[in-house]
């Protein structure tokens, strides 16, 4: 009698147990997918740019007058704020950011920082954009994307040989007077850029 009741009890519980197991598997799968996405996002963030505190690479770029420049030579008493952008030619988000950053140039200078913009555009393109927008800060040409690669910002998703090959992931780096990277501001995707107020507040807080 006891054996019969136990077997009947087990059989009666099987459907409920199966449903519970199916729900658990589904929940676990959902959580697993979410965890994988989060891990991928974190991994991508870790491999883009350089870590705070490391020595910035020594690179040479060309300003809109054709003069070779370095971040060290342009640095203010506090350092250099470097805005890496995709293009001042075809990227509307970069054009807006470069234009908006004009409002930050003065406050940054007062705080001891020199603002510069960097893209892979040729000197002529940057010179025309600087003149059109009447920008007071320097725009630097990184032909060949040497600096972009050195700062680990190269967007490797671009098709080789396309007009977009060599563009960076947009970022604003604060390089101290001692040549070390003190802070990097980035946003997810290429459409969003750090707010101008945040750029100024970050510089003043370093």
pLDDT in tens, 71-116: 999 999 999 999 999 999 999 999 999 999 999 999 999 999 999 9
Determine the longest span between alpha carbons in the chain, in angstroms. Answer: 99
Pair (70, 154) in one structural domain: yes
143-194 pLDDT tens trace: 999 999 999 999 999 999 999 999 999 999 999 999 999 999 999 889 999 9
Domain count, the chain: 2
Work out the angle between the directed axes of helices 92-100 and 123-133 (0-180°, nearest 10): 50
Instruction: Give, in order, the Cα–Cα distances in Å from 108 to each of 27, 81, 114, 151.
Output: 49, 8, 7, 22
Query: Could you tell me whether strands 171-176 and 138-141 are parallel, antiparallel, or unpaired per DSSP bridges?
Result: unpaired
Closest among 62, 97, 49, 48 to 199, alpha carbons compared: 97
Pair (75, 43) in one structural domain: no
Range of the domain at 150: 61-205
Residue 10 lies in a domain: yes
Pair (37, 65) in one structural domain: no
Residue 54 lies in a domain: no
Pair (134, 36) in one structural domain: no
8-25 pLDDT tens trace: 444 444 444 444 455 576
Q: Can you give the pLDDT at residue 22?
A: 54
Pair (72, 166) in one structural domain: yes
Pair (23, 73) in one structural domain: no
Pair (87, 113) in one structural domain: yes
Average pLDDT over every residue of 133-139: 98
Average pLDDT over every residue of 63-68: 98
Please state the pTM of the whole predicted model. 0.77
Pair (40, 67) in one structural domain: no
Pair (31, 67) in one structural domain: no
Residue 70 lies in a domain: yes
What CATH code is carried by the domain that includes residue 176?
Answer: 3.40.30.10
Pair (84, 174) in one structural domain: yes
* Banded model confidence at residue 7, pLDDT cuts 50, 70, 90: very low
């Amino acid at each position: 009698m006891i054996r019969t009741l136990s077997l009947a009890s087990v059989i009666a519980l099987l459907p409920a147990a199966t449903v519970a197991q199916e729900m658990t598997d589904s929940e676990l799968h959902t959580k697993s997918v979410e965890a994988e996405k989060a891990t991928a996002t974190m991994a991508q963030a870790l491999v883009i740019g350089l870590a705070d505190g490391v020595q910035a690479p020594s690179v040479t770029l060309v300003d809109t007058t054709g003069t070779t420049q370095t971040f060290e030579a342009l640095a203010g008493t506090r350092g250099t704020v470097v805005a890496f952008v995709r293009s001042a030619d075809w990227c509307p988000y970069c054009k807006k950011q470069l234009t908006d950053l004009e409002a930050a140039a003065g406050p940054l200078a007062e705080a001891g920082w020199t603002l510069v913009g960097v893209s892979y555009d040729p000197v002529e393109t940057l010179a025309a954009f600087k003149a059109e927008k009447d920008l007071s800060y320097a725009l630097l040409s990184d032909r060949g994307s040497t600096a972009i690669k050195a700062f680990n910002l190269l967007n490797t998703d671009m098709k080789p040989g396309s007009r977009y090959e060599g563009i960076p992931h947009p970022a604003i780096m604060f390089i101290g007077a001692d040549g070390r990277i003190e802070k990097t501001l980035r946003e997810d995707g290429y459409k969003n850029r750090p707010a101008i107020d945040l750029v100024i507040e970050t510089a003043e807080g370093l």
